[in-house]
Structure 1
């Protein structure tokens, strides 16, 4: 009986030892799994996986980081196709810190812009920017970002469609990066790319084909349209320009904006092959025309500004949330119809950059008056952006989507 008891005790001891070993091994496996998960999580934060970057990181929520080692991404004077309206250094600006800011999303890093990689993506393709002068500035930025990777003999620029369509071509890649002037997307009396300043703006909110025929076969389309709609009322024409039977009616701002975007969205739905074409819509670009909004002196604007706005989530009166909501609603409706248009939400990140505008440091459209010369702030451009500068970041965001989809 004693032997049986000893055997039982011995077996029980083995069982306990085995259970202890199992418990220890289980604990080790759990600890290892947690460690690996944490390590992988840290690695993802430092080096986002390409396929996850745009889906798991909010690229538009972040902060500006001063970086004078890797920025600017190009030199103003070395960009062959730089616009005199955006060449602030050329026209006398001395404080150049606006060129050295990098956008850092909170949960990841933007991929470094690689001109050669983008051109490979664009091989045998068309990238077309469509919209107003702010979109044209983004187009100029994109040209400046990529053209250094193309030998002089293998790149060209030409204009067609009565000056509305500007085409940069990288011949080795058979790739084009284009800009088409259509500030309201739909047809309007401001469609001339040079003579578009009219006292009374009129749109044909149901007419878009005049413009759209130049974009139909593009592989990547980047639209914007906001500032030209920003007025209390706008004339809407039912009929054709020059037709005495046309019907005109004044429509308030947000409503007429939605009417125009609905026409655009219908065109996108029925004329774009979503399996072939990537679609983007750039949100409203903020203006900095009233220094009082950020605590500056009454009557001042962006002139002489050299620092950013540091207040988190600062939002100026020039950016109208109701119009932003219209864009979001139209894009959401398109998604329900199977068409994905990615919004490049540049509004908040650009709101902080009151020092990034040309101010007086640009080529002026018309000779300045003596009154303007005596008061520089009276003609300061607080709408467009110096290059290199803020629009380069818009293109880094665009590059993230193009290269990771």
Structure 2
């Protein structure tokens, strides 16, 4: 009897033990299943910094400073990217204003390259090389308010450019952006498969592995002018032929991607205009004085008409860059030392800031011309870099640059006359312009 009770107790104990073990196994399996389905996604792939390359010294034409009209600070409405224009593979949002945002300091991801590692850097843009003591200007990232602007990817850009041509057409600020783009893609191209040809007014960078070219064509007014020599300009005497564009435009024909700009040379009250048949070299040639804005609209009409008659709508994609801001009056942002942009090391934090050097009437003229071309079926977009550039008073070469030779001690001591607050140090702000350009190309 005692043995029977003992066996029953043992059996009950085993049953209880087996039940507990089964429950433990089920719970462990449940925990593992939940962990597998709730596991965090893998971290994003980090783009590696470009490897150092051998520096190739290239002489560049000196950046030219232009006379600027003084005017009251103004504001302009910021253009947005519509739902139909969104970069769907980068931003899932229905729309995103790429041009409203702020500069975020990011010394982990930026700069995207080093000026001494870019074989094709121009000396008037190599600020670190020519003694700029601070480096913070290289380490700012543009952050739109409602989305993320992806970091530039050189291989992705070149894949979109395979067997194609991209050409910048305009003034020295478009050259500034062209140099930036070469520096951004260079590390993605093996050394034997890249080359440069400088034959003003055409500058050509070729990536032979991709059969792709990135070109710059000097045409500061888009139409013919007495300043069409890329290395020798007549700043004080500006004459244009508002209806003569064929000489330049024939070079743009059949290009896959066209990036236009023109503004820097228009910042004077009036321009001399001539008929198409007139000669710039004839001292007694008749000309007519026309207000700059009126001349600008005339030129945009000539440019638009040429596009309408010659550009292949199904092949060529076009972009028009907004006005790149200048920072020539430090009083505008509260600095009374009158050193222009010299010694500026931080962006402007006031989101309503608008410098006197950017005239919104010219922006409106560009927008009007682009809207008309869009309505007739052309693939053209306005990249409104003006406001985001306005904040970057710290991004210019000032005195840390080289023209045909380094600045003298006397010139260095006179930033009021010799500080360049029009062009941009590289790496720097133009890299963001090219990140925006890539985003549009990926659309």
- Structure 1's consecutive aligned runs of 4 or more residues displaced over 6 angstroms after TM superposition are none
Q: Which runs of 5+ in 2 are unaligned?
A: 1-86
Alignment deviations for residues 104-141 of structure 1 (CA, whole Å, 9 cap, x no partner): 11111112211111111111000000000000000000
Task: Return the match for 1:97 from 123, 136, 145.
Answer: 136
Name the structure 1 match of 2:104.
65
Distance in 2 between residues matched to 1:366 and 1:205, nearest whole Å: 35
Normalised by the length of structure 1, the TM-score is 0.84
Structure in which a larger fraction of residues adopt helix: 1
Structure 1 residues 75 and 244 mapped into 2: Cα distance closer, same or farther (>3 Å)? closer
Q: 2:91–2:148: 8 Å Cα contact kept in structure 1? A: no
Q: Which runs of 5+ in 1 are unaligned?
A: 1-47
Name the structure 2 match of 1:230.
267
Partner-residue secondary structure (3-state), 2:433: helix
Partner-residue secondary structure (3-state), 1:56: coil
Name the structure 2 match of 1:135.
174
Partner-residue secondary structure (3-state), 2:181: helix
Q: 2:226–2:234: 8 Å Cα contact kept in structure 1? A: no
Structure 1 residues 355 and 221 mapped into 2: Cα distance closer, same or farther (>3 Å)? same
Name the structure 2 match of 1:30.
none
Q: 1:138–1:395: 8 Å Cα contact kept in structure 2? A: yes
Partner-residue secondary structure (3-state), 1:156: strand
Structure 1 residues 373 and 145 mapped into 2: Cα distance closer, same or farther (>3 Å)? closer
Structure 1 residues 75 and 154 mapped into 2: Cα distance closer, same or farther (>3 Å)? same
Superposed displacement of residue 207, structure 1? 0.5
Name the structure 2 match of 1:403.
442
Distance in 2 between residues matched to 1:140 and 1:206, nearest whole Å: 30
Superposed displacement of residue 365, structure 1? 4.3
Task: Return the match for 1:167 from 201, 204, 227.
Answer: 204
Q: How does 1:9-28 map to 2 (within 5 A)?
A: none
Distance in 2 between residues matched to 1:373 and 1:400, nearest whole Å: 39
Q: 2:340–2:415: 8 Å Cα contact kept in structure 1? A: no
Structure 1 residues 260 and 55 mapped into 2: Cα distance closer, same or farther (>3 Å)? farther
Q: Which has the larger radius of gyration?
A: 2
Name the structure 2 match of 1:240.
278
Structure 1 residues 246 and 265 mapped into 2: Cα distance closer, same or farther (>3 Å)? farther
Alignment deviations for residues 272-326 of structure 1 (CA, whole Å, 9 cap, x no partner): 1121111000011111010110111153310111111111121000001111111
Distance in 2 between residues matched to 1:344 and 1:54, nearest whole Å: 19
The alignment's C-alpha RMSD in Å is 1.9
Q: 2:272–2:287: 8 Å Cα contact kept in structure 1? A: yes
Superposed displacement of residue 210, structure 1? 0.7
Name the structure 2 match of 1:176.
213
Superposed displacement of residue 372, structure 1? 2.9
Normalised by the length of structure 2, the TM-score is 0.77
Q: 1:129–1:221: 8 Å Cα contact kept in structure 2? A: yes
1:362 equivalenced with 2:404 (yes/no): no
Superposed displacement of residue 327, structure 1? 0.8
Distance in 2 between residues matched to 1:53 and 1:313, nearest whole Å: 28
